Amino acid sequence: MQDPKNMTCEEFQAQMAELIGSGEDLSVHPHVQTCTLCRALLNELETIAEAARQLFPVEDPPDTLWEKLETAIKEEGNQTRS
Ligand SMILES: [Zn+2]
Task: Report the separation in Å between the CA atom of 9 and the middle of ligand 1, taken as the mean of its atom positions.
Answer: 4
Please give the Cα distance from 45 to 67 (Å, whole number).
13
* 60 or 48: which leads in pLDDT: 48
Gap from CA of 52 to ligand 1 centroid (Å): 24
| Domain spans, the chain | 4-80
For 5, the enclosing helix (H) or strand (E) is: none
Q: Report the pLDDT averaged over residues 49-59.
A: 76
Cβ atoms within 10 A of the Cβ of 7, count? 19
**pLDDT of the residue at 20:** 78
Assign residue 23 a region (left: φ > 0; alpha: ψ between -120 and 50; beta: otherwise). Answer: left
Which of residues 36 and 77 earns the better pLDDT score? 36
Q: Cα of 48 to ligand 1 centre, how many Å? A: 19
pLDDT attached to residue 80:
58
Q: What is the mean pLDDT of residues 45-49?
A: 82
pLDDT at 4: 66
> In terms of C-beta density within 10 A (0-12 exposed, 13-18 middle, 19 or more buried), how is residue 19 classed?
middle
The Å distance, Cα 69 to ligand 1 centre, comes to 17
Residue 41 Cα, ligand 1 centroid: separation in angstroms? Answer: 9
User: Are the C-beta atoms of residues 49 and 20 closer than 8 Å to each other?
Assistant: yes
User: Looking at per-residue confidence, does 29 or 4 come out higher?
Assistant: 29
